Amino acid sequence: MPEIIINSFSVATCFLIGILVIFYIPYNKKGNLFFGVFLISVGFALLSKIIWDEKLDIKFPYIVPFSELSRFVLAPSFYLSIWYYTHLGKVSFGKKWLHFIPAILFFLLVSLPYFLSLENISHLIGDRLSRIIGGLMGLVFPVQLIIYWILSYRLLKRHGISVMLFSSQKKERDLKWLLHILVWMLLMIVVSIIMKIKENDNLNLVSSYLYLLLVLFMVYSILKQKDIFFNDENKNLILQSILYPDVKNQIEKSTSRLNEDDLLKYKSVLNNLLQKEEVFIDPDISLASLADKVGISMNDLSFLINNSYNMNFYTLINNYRLDKVKSMLIKKQYSHLTILGIAYEAGFTSKSTFNNAFKKTTGLTPSEYVKEYTIK
């Protein structure tokens, strides 16, 4: 009994938030469209679980074709949501419908005949052909999961590199919560495999709680997610030329209209902004806003940072923030502030980001750094 209550709550949440994400969240619309489809597909997949666990397929035969169809929509819709979250192009279905060919085939060969006849498909096409189609569809689903899991992971890792070219705050834009969902999916796959090998009531209850936690995490994360790129369409067009097609080779491929004299001139302006005006303490500073202050385009500023400092925008800004923190930690005038308070004063907005960056740079935690300086 607890399983059906938990799963029913998960189903209702997926349907409700899926519709909300598609129609009512005003930003990241291109990614939200497919993530909403993904949430609704998860809802149907969980509904399918309820139907088979509670043996409701005879009582509600009309639901079966759609609930079973969801398994072939899950992976491609999740991948396409990530694709649109991490790309600046307009929403264009174009060739994207090809990702749903397995779902279309399943609908035409299985769902539609079942829906029309309310009988097993073997009554329409014969037992032999029915078994062949069933075997193929059973093979397509796990293969599809593996392929889209890998593709999604690669997109998210590449986006993590892209963010560092234009934003000083990774946590708000790097979509790491989607990586967490991928890990969670692996866990759910392992649990489902174990359950197929050996049925276990306790494991069935555990899986219901895991699904509920996953759904709640997805809802929390999607509602918390801010704009990934800029609000200004013109700035996004310029940013598109910086990010694509190959982020890894961005330093080599960057081009600039600036000559050597201009580079020296604007490097001096940038140094002044960073060292004297301390523009890095603004937590919302971005490549676009800094380019406006320097008086050059985002393309030229990206080129300047990559070639004159041999690092990306994110690293440059956070190096200055770390230097500011280290300076403040050893000055008595800031002794009334906590270490985290000092980090916020320097422009950091995340405790985990600050601690990780500090440890990576100094080899010490902030408190260890203060203690070591005090001893010296």
Residue 375: predicted pLDDT: 63
Residue 59 is encoded by which pair of tokens?
Answer: 């009582």
What is this structure's pTM?
0.85
What pLDDT, on the 0 to 100 scale, is given for residue 253?
Answer: 44
Whole-number average pLDDT of the chain: 84
Which residues sit opposite 167 in a β-bridge?
286
Query: Residue 267: is its pLDDT beyond 90?
Result: yes
CA-to-CA dists, residue 198 to 3, 202, 203, 217, 262, angstroms: 18, 12, 10, 28, 70
**Average pLDDT in the 33-60 region?**
84
What is d(CA 322, CA 7) in angstroms, rounded to the nearest whole number?
46
Percent of the chain with pLDDT strictly greater than 90:
43
Q: What is the mean pLDDT of residues 290-306?
A: 92
**pLDDT for 216:** 94
Sign of CA dihedral 153, 155, 161, 163: negative
Summarize pLDDT for 191-221 with one digit per residue, the tens: 777 777 776 667 777 888 888 999 999 999 9
pLDDT at 336 over 50: yes
**Bigger pLDDT: 193 vs 37:** 37
- Averaged pLDDT for residues 166-189: 90
- pLDDT above 80 (res 113): no
Q: How far apart are alpha carbons 273 and 269 in whole angstroms?
A: 6
Estimate the crossing angle of helix 201-224 against helix 2-23, to 10 degrees. 20
Euclidean distance between CA atoms 203 and 192, whole angstroms: 9
Q: What per-residue confidence (pLDDT) applies to 247? A: 42
pLDDT for 350 beyond 70 = yes
Decide if 101 contacts 256 (C-beta within 8 A): no
pLDDT of 92 reads 61
Which residues on adjacent β-strands are paired with residue 286?
Answer: 167
pLDDT band at 15 (very low <50, low <70, confident <90, very high): very high
Q: Is the pLDDT of residue 345 over 70?
A: yes
- Rounded CA separation 242/254 (Å): 7
- Give the whole-angstrom CA distance, residue 225 versus residue 230: 14
Question: pLDDT category, 47, cuts 50, 70, 90?
Answer: confident
DSSP symbol at 107: I
* CA gap 207, 204 in Å, rounded: 5
Q: What is the pLDDT of residue 328?
A: 92
Query: Residue 288 is inside which H or E element, if any?
Result: helix 287-294
Query: Of 80, 67, 167, nearest to 110 (Cα)?
Result: 67
The whole-number pLDDT of residue 7 equals 86
Encoded amino acid at 39, one letter:
L
- How many residues in the chain? 376
Nearest to 159 by CA among 280, 244, 74, 255: 244
- Residues 110 and 68 sit within 8 Å (Cβ to Cβ): yes
Residue 167 phi, psi (nearest 5): -125, 145
Q: Residue 54's pLDDT is what?
A: 74
